[in-house]
Structure 1
Amino acid sequence: MKVSFKKLEDMTADELKWIRNDELSQLSPSLRSHIRLRNPSAIERLIFEIIREFEMKLPYYEVNINGMLLQLLTCIPAKL
């Protein structure tokens, strides 16, 4: 799974074909647009790591970003 940081209007037709259905929207309970985190510093650290990884573009950075996004999802509490 690739992560794109482009806006939809900036993507080519080929890039738009890579977009999948939003599987997270089918979660029960659904993710809220505003949540209170137990450990916001961990979330902030991961977000900045993802940004830094994207900017550095080291070998296999896309794989690393995907893994970091999964870590980010696991930091969100199960019961919101």
Structure 2
Amino acid sequence: MVDRENDEEDVQIEECSVCGGDIIIDSYCEEDDIVYCNDCEAEYLIRSLDPIRLKLLDDDADADDADDSFDEEFE
């Protein structure tokens, strides 16, 4: 049986830079794992666990748009 009280001690909560919601980082998370905001579902890459450093992955969407326009020019 899982003891939820002990599990909660191993959970860290960070604030989402997009909406201010909660990003839950469990004890089993490792560097380079992806975690999500519970409110807006923004994706974050765990860059470091001690101290916790997260990188917003939605920034890559702009780069993908630029690549699509490049392909359209040469079709």
The structure with more radius of gyration: 2
Say yes or no: TM over 0.5.
Answer: no
Q: Which has the higher contact order (CA 8 A, sep 6+)?
A: 1
TM, length-normalised to structure 1? 0.24
> Which has the larger strand fraction?
2
> Which has the larger helix fraction?
1
